[in-house]
Amino acid sequence: MATAYLLPIKTAAALFPLLALVLLLPTAVLLYRRHGVMSRGRTLSVYGFLYYSLTAFCMTIVPLPKQTADMCQRFAMVAHPQWMPGNTFRDIWKEADHKIGLNALVLQNPAVAGTLFNLLLLLPLGIFLRYHFVRSLRATALIGFTVSLFFELTQWTGVWGLYNCPYRLFDVDDLIVNTAGAMAGWLLAGPVARMLPTLETLDGRALAARPVPFGRRLTALVVDVAGYVLASVFAMAVMTFQSGTAPTWTPIAIFVAWFVLLPLATGTTPGKRLLLLKLVADDGGPLLPWRLTLRALLLGALAMPFLSGLFLAVVILLNEPYPSVLFTTVRDSGAQGAAAVLTALSPGQLLAVLVGFTLTVTCVRKTLRHPDRLAPHDRISGIRNATLPHSRAIRAARGARGVAGATGAARDAAGADTQTAAQSPVQAAARPGDRAAPVAVVVAQDADDAPADADASCRPLATTATMATAATTGSAAEAQRSAADSR
């Protein structure tokens, strides 16, 4: 049984690097837009959750059986779902061969091991839902049930139609045990979550150290370069389809529009807008066209080597007789395959790629060594990046305004009570049914004899107002925490 569990873990470990690379850019965009930073703690938590999710999914489908003509006959016993809750206890009793004993019922019972595995399968999900996603126990139970139902439906449908019939059993007891495992993980995560710093605290420390993170700007640059390449290829393809040829100045015009005209009109590029960044001048003035042009030229000198290398790779693969030679030699392991690819480049092309790589590495090194992490094109052009509020900061500001409004209302109410208590004895006594009126009269009559006592009599009012304000503020803060727990 241990071998059956080890194979899905190995499969997930083999697929995870590729999946992490594919999801790197979308993950970076999502985290920067929501939190403004990719702190180490949050990045580790995100990719830990990604690896766990992949492993849990592989646990439900791996090993995949070989599809044969008699497959449905081989797995006929799992063709129909098991809808009777509590059937697991009957399986345990059956596997124990109707014997009562610790070994037969627990230690050496495969049904108990399978139930324990189903309990542990979604236990990490409950931990992640409480610590990373800050979800309540009720939400964790609902999410755990939904995930378990997805796994069971995947098995029942033969991996969503990949097989003609199911090869694993849809069991309602698995839904119950998986959901209980997610809830148990949520409960176990409580003491651990209280010991560890919150992810918001780690994000705040990272933002305090670097208000405009280098990774955020690099992600925006990657998005801009990718968007520029796609726009250029699309425009040239359309022009070639319509007139048979495309002007050579088309990529230059799109580059100027993307990196000069759009920032001049909107203050940002599409990639920076996606990452919630904007361009600002060092002197606080408007963005001047010549500064934007200088910055775009310097940026192009650093980014063009990557584009040139990509263009050369496409040309080499499309030019005969390189494809057949490359595809046969790249499969060779070791330095032989790499040498075959490098020999496909001419000396001039190889020199251009090496120079471009050297320029890029030098630029990154100078940027990271600068106190403010400013790139050379930022320092020379006098234009740098500034951040726009991310979504969590916007929600926090709205919550702060709500707390401030509640506190202001409490202060107004306390001020009204103080003003009422300071009215004249006649005004205080003239109110029918006002229980504070006799007290006000007594205080006014004794004012000449004991002014210090009169001052002392006003102190409870101030104390009451302060307590009301503090209570309102605490209620608002408690409401915020309750809303965060219930998400």
The answer to whether the pTM exceeds 0.85 is no
Give yes or no: residues 224 and 295 share one domain: yes
Kindly state the tokens that stand for 60. 């439900």
pLDDT given for residue 458 in this prediction: 36
Give yes or no: residues 360 and 414 share one domain: no
Kindly state the tokens that stand for 250. 């088309």
Picking from 357, 387, 417, the residue at the C-terminal end of a domain is 387
Helix or strand (DSSP H, E) at 281: strand 277-281
Picking from 186, 206, 226, the residue at the C-terminal end of a domain is 206
Give yes or no: residues 242 and 307 share one domain: yes
Q: Which residue would you say has higher pLDDT here, 399 or 184?
A: 184
Alpha helices in 163-213 (DSSP H): 172-195, 199-209
Give yes or no: residues 456 and 373 share one domain: no
Check if the beta carbon of residue 420 is closer than 8 Å to that of residue 470.
no
Number of domains in the chain: 3
| Block residue for tokens 């992600």 | 219
Helix or strand (DSSP H, E) at 383: strand 383-387
Give yes or no: residues 147 and 187 share one domain: yes
Give yes or no: residues 432 and 477 share one domain: yes
Interval 203-222 mean pLDDT = 90
Give yes or no: residues 189 and 47 share one domain: yes
Helix or strand (DSSP H, E) at 388: none
**Which of 169-178, 236-245, 466-475 tops mean pLDDT?**
169-178
Give yes or no: residues 239 and 378 share one domain: yes
d(CA 69, CA 143): 38
Q: What is the pLDDT of residues 254-305, one digit of tens each?
A: 999 999 999 999 999 999 999 999 999 999 899 999 999 999 988 887 766 6
Give yes or no: residues 286 and 201 share one domain: no
Whole-number mean pLDDT of the chain? Answer: 77
Give yes or no: residues 381 and 462 share one domain: no
**β-bridge partners, 386:** 278
Q: Is the pLDDT of residue 455 over 60?
A: no
Q: Is the pLDDT of residue 175 over 90?
A: yes
Give yes or no: residues 228 and 158 share one domain: no
Picking from 173, 206, 239, the residue at the C-terminal end of a domain is 206
pLDDT given for residue 47 in this prediction: 93
Give yes or no: residues 41 and 142 share one domain: yes
**Full residue range of the structural domain in which residue 24 is found:** 2-206
